[in-house]
C-alpha cells in the first residue's frame, strides 16, 4: 500500500553499529513505500556509517548525513537537522536501536489521510531487551481508537496519556517554526511536544502496538533514573520551560501547574520550587504548604524506607 503523502522518517544515530541494522531493516520492510529516511550521524566513531551506506546504496530512500556544526551535538540537534531537510507531509521519528511494526506507516497514514482534522496519530509501544518481540499483522484497526480534545496537552504534560518521541506521526505543518530545544539533553521531546500540542491538540490515539523500543543501560532515560546530573538538570530546565510557555499562552491550568511543581519537589532544589511557585502565582497558604512538603521530604522518605524494612 502507498500513502498519498510522503512520510519523512528522521533517525538520529551515534555509535550504534551493533544495533542500527535491525532498525533500518524494519523501515525497509514497511508495507507503505512512500517514505524517505533521513539519518543524521552525530559523529560516530564505529562502523555505523558503513552499515547505513550499505542500505542507502541499495535503496536511495535511505539518506545518510553527518551532523554539521550549525546544530549542537546531541539528539535534539540531530533531529533538528533532519527536520530542516525533510520533504514529507508527515514526520515520524524512529530511534536507531528500536524496531517499527511493518504496518506502522500504512496504518498511521490511513488515519491521517482519512481524518483531516487530526494533526497527529499516536500508537502504543512495547519494550524489549535483547530479542525483538514476535511481530504479527496489525491490520487496520476498526474503531479501536479515540479522538483527543483541545485540552489534550494537559494529559500529555502530566503523563496521564504519555507519548514518547517515537510513538507519534505528525503532520509536518505542526513543526512550522518549532524545533527541539538543543540546550536540553533529556526530556527534550516532552518540552517540544508540549509546544506542539498547545496549538495542535486534536489527534488520534490508536490502541495498537506499532513500535518496539529497546531497553538498555546506555539510553538517556536509563541515565536519568540512575541519577545522571546532566539528565536531571535537563529535566528541571524542561519543567521551567513548559510552565513559562503555558503561562505566556494563558494555558497553565491548575492540574498542570500542580503536577509540574510536585514533580520538581523530588529534585531537592528549593530555588526551582520558588521559581515555579512564583510562575504559578500561588497564594501564601499554598506556598507554605509546598515548602513544608519540601523540607519534610527527607523525613517522609526515611519513614517510608523504615516501613518497608519492617
Q: Which residue has the cell 546531541?
A: 74
Give the pLDDT score at 153: 96
Give the pLDDT score at 143: 59
Q: Give dist(CA 150, CA 30) in Å, integer.
A: 32
Give the pLDDT score at 303: 62
Give the pLDDT score at 304: 62
The model's pLDDT over 256-291, given as tens digits with 9 standing for 90+, comes to 998 999 898 888 888 888 888 888 787 777 777 777
The model's pLDDT over 51-62, given as tens digits with 9 standing for 90+, comes to 999 999 999 999
pLDDT at 309 over 60: no
Question: In the chain, which residues fall in CATH 3.90.550.10?
Answer: 7-216
Report whether 12 contacts 40 (CB < 8 A).
yes
The model's pLDDT over 102-123, given as tens digits with 9 standing for 90+, comes to 999 999 999 999 999 999 999 9
The model's pLDDT over 192-250, given as tens digits with 9 standing for 90+, comes to 999 999 999 999 999 999 999 988 766 777 788 788 899 999 999 999 999 999 999 99
pLDDT at 82 over 90: yes
Give the pLDDT score at 131: 78
The model's pLDDT over 150-208, given as tens digits with 9 standing for 90+, comes to 999 999 999 999 999 999 999 999 999 999 999 999 999 999 999 999 999 999 999 99
The pair phi, psi for residue 214, each rounded to 5°, is -85, 130
Q: Give dist(CA 169, CA 123) in Å, integer.
A: 9
Q: Give dist(CA 198, CA 133) in Å, integer.
A: 35
Mean pLDDT over all residues of the chain? 90
- Residue 83 grid cell: 527536520
Tell me the average pLDDT across 247-254. 92
Closest-CA residue to 165 (of 236, 220, 114, 240)? 220
Q: What architecture is the 7-216 domain classified under in CATH?
A: Alpha-Beta Complex (3.90)
Give the pLDDT score at 295: 73
DSSP three-state, residue 52:
helix
Amino acid at each position: 500500500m502507498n500513502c498519498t503523502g510522503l512520510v519523512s522518517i528522521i533517525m538520529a544515530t551515534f555509535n550504534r553499529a551493533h544495533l542500527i541494522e535491525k532498525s533500518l531493516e524494519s523501515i525497509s520492510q514497511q508495507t507503505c513505500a512512500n517514505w524517505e529516511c533521513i539519518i543524521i550521524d552525530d559523529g560516530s566513531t564505529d562502523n555505523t556509517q558503513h552499515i547505513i551506506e550499505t542500505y542507502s546504496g541499495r535503496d536511495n530512500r535511505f539518506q545518510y548525513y553527518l551532523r554539521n556544526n550549525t546544530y549542537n551535538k546531541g539528539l535534539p540537534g540531530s533531529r533538528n537537522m533532519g527536520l530542516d531537510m525533510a520533504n514529507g507531509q508527515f514526520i515520524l521519528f524512529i530511534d536507531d536501536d528500536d524496531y517499527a511494526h511493518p504496518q506502522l506507516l500504512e496504518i498511521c497514514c490511513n488515519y491521517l489521510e482519512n481524518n483531516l482534522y487530526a494533526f497527529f496519530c499516536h500508537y502504543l509501544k512495547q519494550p524489549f531487551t535483547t530479542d525483538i518481540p514476535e511481530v504479527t499483522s496489525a491490520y487496520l484497526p476498526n474503531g479501536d481508537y479515540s479522538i483527543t480534545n483541545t485540552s489534550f496537552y494537559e494529559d500529555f504534560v502530566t503523563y496521564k496519556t504519555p507519548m514518547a518521541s517515537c510513538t507519534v506521526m505528525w503532520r509536518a505543518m505542526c513543526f512550522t517554526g518549532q524545533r527541539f530545544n538543543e540546550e536540553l539533553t533529556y526530556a527534550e521531546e516532552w518540552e517540544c511536544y508540549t509546544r506542539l500540542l498547545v496549538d495542535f491538540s486534536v489527534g488520534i490515539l490508536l490502541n495498537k502496538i506499532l513500535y518496539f523500543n529497546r531497553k538498555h543501560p546506555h539510553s538517556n532515560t536509563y541515565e536519568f533514573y540512575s541519577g545522571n546530573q546532566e539528565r536531571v538538570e535537563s529535566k528541571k530546565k524542561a519543567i521551567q520551560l513548559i510552565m513559562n510557555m503555558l503561562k505566556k499562552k494563558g494555558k497553565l491550568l491548575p492540574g498542570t501547574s500542580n503536577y509540574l511543581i510536585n514533580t520538581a519537589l523530588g529534585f531537592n532544589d528549593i530555588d526551582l520550587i520558588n521559581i515555579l511557585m512564583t510562575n504559578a502565582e500561588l497564594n501564601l497558604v499554598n506556598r507554605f504548604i509546598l515548602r513544608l512538603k519540601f523540607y519534610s521530604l527527607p523525613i517522609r522518605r526515611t519513614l517510608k524506607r523504615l516501613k518497608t524494612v519492617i
